[in-house]
Amino acid sequence: MKSFPIFVSVDQTPPLVNGGGDLAVIKARTLLLRAPRLTLAAHELPAGLSDKATQIDLLPHTPALADIKGRPFVISATGDDIEDARVSELARGIGVPVNVPDRPELCTFALGAFVDRGDLTVAVSTDGAAPVLATHLREWLERQLHPRLDRVAAIARDYRERAQRVPSGGQRRAFWHQVLAGAPAEAIQRGDEVEGRRLIEALLTGADSERQPGRVIIVGAGPGDPDLLTLKAVRALKSADVILYDSLVGDGVLEHARREAVLVVVGKRAGKPSAQQGDINAQMIAYARAGKTVVRLKGGDAFVFGRAAEEIAAVETAGIGVEIIPGITAAQACAVDARLPLTYRGAIRTISLVAGASTDGEPDLDWEALARPQQAFAIYMGVKTAHRIVRNLLDAGADGSTPAVIVENGGRPQCRTIATTLSELDAAVMELEVAGPAILFVGLDWSAAGLKAPPNVERYSATWPLRRAASASSRLEPVDTLAPTL
């Protein structure tokens, strides 16, 4: 069936749905997302529509020609081939569009998968060839289109008449582009409709938009896997004029940025040339003062060892607005990759997040508190300082047999998990050439949660012979070939 996409009015005459089963209920509920009323041909109101009773006119018999005439369209979803064919023939005979689910030969129109944003509707159809593909595309569009996009459309409608005063052609197109893809739309989508309208007014009255300050969005990029970005983070990337990103941001994350965005690397890695925090702050402020939307993209979550507070203070002191979008922090992602619960009822009641490095490189922690029995904690930035961490914990009285787990490159395809003990944690880091990024877990293991270690977990013990490869690198066999799982 070759079809032409149109949108049909349903606010005058109610469409007709024939059937009282599950399929008819699904179709009726879909129509009621847009239609204020509909007519349902069924002996009684199905339980699945009881909450919609005030919007449904019940037709307690099979539809006759008079019931079909004048309808915007009819859907026959009885599941009875003879009845559905009868209704289809009646409708086609008088030119009323008809749809019979999964029977394209009885249809004169197809129901597309659609995204509803109030006055804005996006529909997808494959002419019945691949309905699942249409559903997949709809789900993708649901993620891409901001939930408040309907408010952008509604407010834009309020300015259509006044926008006619803008000279037609390129100048008017530029005006609408600034409204719908620039600061006004961004303000409306974040819920500040007053600011959105003010910005539109400024464009209409010829105010110099370049003097309007931009804004900064601090975005947590998660552990590396682009599929772990929040929807809000993706929308921020697509709105950004400039993206200042860390070196720990995973491959694929920046693919969500719009093509025109300026990408600036401001990574900070231990022992390597790094951007200075003051320079990063200055760049964010300079771009925002130029009217740009700036995304500061940080690995993991910006509020967990991310120095976000310094950046927020600097930007707000400059009189520029800041929005913060959280991300999945590395400890969560690493724990999930290792299938290692961070808490477990009756066994693991608390988990601490600690930094393994400070501004001078030496970790400065409450070692006596961490060394107490049954403490569980995740160490960020602890690969380079693992030897000092182990020494300080043991000196503070920690039990050397406390379980320890290393998760390297959590949230990435090359993720690696190593099980050992506290006393041998630093040796495992060195011997197995853990380079990071990595999280070191102390006081956690699978047995505490009644689980077995996953089969790909490596176990390290200095007392076991290491199987060295022909190359200089050292790697261990999976845990189940060396020792029982934890």
3-state secondary structure the chain: CCCCCCCCCCCCCCCEEECCCHHHHHHHHHHCCCCCCEEEECCCCCHHHHHHHHHEEEECCCCCHHHHCCCCCEEECCCCHHHHHHHHHHHHHCCCCEECCCCHHHCCCCCCEEEEECCEEEEECCCCCCHHHHHHHHHHHHHHCCCCHHHHHHHHHHCHHHHCCCCCCHHHHHHHHHHHHCHHHHHHHCCCHHHHHHHHHHHHCCCCHHHCCCEEEEEECECCCHHHCCHHHHHHHHHCCEEEECCCCCCCHHHHCCCCCEEEECCCCCCCCCCCHHHHHHHHHHHHHCCCEEEEEECECCCCCCCHHHHHHHHHHCCCEEEEECCCCHHHHHHHHCCCCCCECCCECCCEEEECCCCCCCCCCCHHHHHCCCCCEEEECCCCCHHHHHHHHHHCCCCCCCEEEEEECCCCCCCEEEEEEHHHHHHHHHHCCCCCCEEEEECCCCHHHCCCCCCCCEECCCCCCCCECCCCCECCCEHHHCCCCC
The pLDDT value recorded for residue 485 is 33
331-481: CATH topology is: 3.30.950
At 233 the pLDDT is 92
Q: Give pLDDT, residue 265.
A: 92
Domain with CATH 3.40.1010.10 in the chain: 213-328
Q: What does the pLDDT read at residue 360?
A: 62
Catalytic residue selected from 246, 301, 337, 426: 246
Which pLDDT does position 348 carry in this prediction? 81
Mention every residue, 6+ apart, whose C-beta is less than 8 A from residue 2.
127
Interatomic CA distance for residues 172 and 179, integer angstroms:
11
List where CATH 3.30.950.10 sits in the chain. 331-481
User: Could you give the CA distance from residue 239 to residue 323 in angstroms, rounded to a whole number?
Assistant: 13
Q: How many other CB atoms are there within 10 angstroms of residue 122's CB atom?
A: 17
**16-111 architecture in CATH?**
3-Layer(aba) Sandwich (3.40)
Q: What pLDDT score does 471 carry?
A: 31
Q: What is the pLDDT of residue 165?
A: 86
Q: Say whether 272 is catalytic.
A: no
Q: How far apart are CA 188 and CA 271, in angstroms?
A: 43
**Residues of each domain in the chain carrying CATH 3.40.50.720:** 16-111
213-328: CATH homologous superfamily?
Tetrapyrrole methylase, N-terminal domain (3.40.1010.10)
Catalytic: 57?
A: no
Instruction: Given the residues 238, 268, 384, 452, select the one marked as catalytic.
Output: 268
Q: What pLDDT was estimated at residue 473?
A: 38
Listed as ranges, residues in the chain with pLDDT below 70 are 1, 170, 207-213, 268-273, 359-362, 463-486
What is residue 448's predicted lDDT score, i.e. its pLDDT? 82
Identify which of 348, 344, 399 has the alpha carbon closest to the alpha carbon of residue 376: 348
